[in-house]
Amino acid sequence: GATEGIPDITIRILLLGDSGVGKTSLMMRYSDDRFAYSLIATAGVDFKVKNMDIPNPAYNASSALPLSPSASLSLSPEEREMRILLSKPFLKVRCQIWDTAGQEKFHVITRAYYRGAHAIVTCFDVTDGDSFRNIDYWLANIHTHTERGGGGGGVQTMIIGNKTDLQEKRVVSKEQGQALAKECGVKYIETSAKDGSNVNIAFEQLATDVVSQM
Ligand code: GDP
Ligand code: MG
């Protein structure tokens, strides 16, 4: 299945956003497909891993055809490896989802947390206006701590509006979320870690964008 075998690529995805918006819950929903009301034991969980199959943007069917023995011998090991990679319609992507361990509460996300990130998900809670207004803060934080910034040019960034299952408590509309994301030049997806809606879609979208930028 999709979760077995040796990954072709490992990508590092970070979760950011105010305390309580559901970052740990999103990670658990995505990696283990479960949800817990109280997450007492989350301190100490640095990251979770999940493998997924992502369409190979560089797929080239002719790379899968056998070469003549002389052509095959003329390839360097790197060329041979590249050919194998190009012959795969799907890439096995090992997705490492990194969660903050509560340091977001004190706004002390360090440069080390950002190191090597391929993608960053900035999360807010659609029932919490402050968490939405703080998206600006988190995006600015990404810019200060990564060389290439948030929007384009390397680190893929996405805004997630979480807790859509709480429709009656909602204070941030989908349109507001979309408008902010558009302004920031990033994608916007609404999720519920509780009922699971859009969680896989969000991470798969992110991984697809990362892979297509490589
Ligand atoms: P974090 O501080 O950003 O890691 O947030 P948590 O994942 O610890 O979640 C904070 C609280 O919100 C917990 O009580 C979760 O059970 C709850 N929560 C997280 N996601 C959702 C969601 O999608 N819907 C609902 N109703 N509650 C959620
Ligand atoms: Mg947490």
- Tell me how far the alpha carbon of residue 8 lies from the centroid of ligand 1, in angstroms: 32
pLDDT tens track for 172-200 = 999 999 999 999 999 999 999 999 999 99
Instruction: Quote the pTM value.
Output: 0.89
- Tally Cβ neighbours within 10 Å of residue 74: 10
pLDDT given at position 124: 98
How far is 48 from 95, CA to CA, in rounded Å?
8
Substitution site in 25, 128, 198 for ligand 1 pocket (most atoms within 8 Å of beta carbon): 25
Task: Write the pLDDT tens digit of every residue in 51-76.
Answer: 999 999 999 888 888 888 888 889 99
At 55 the three-state DSSP class reads strand
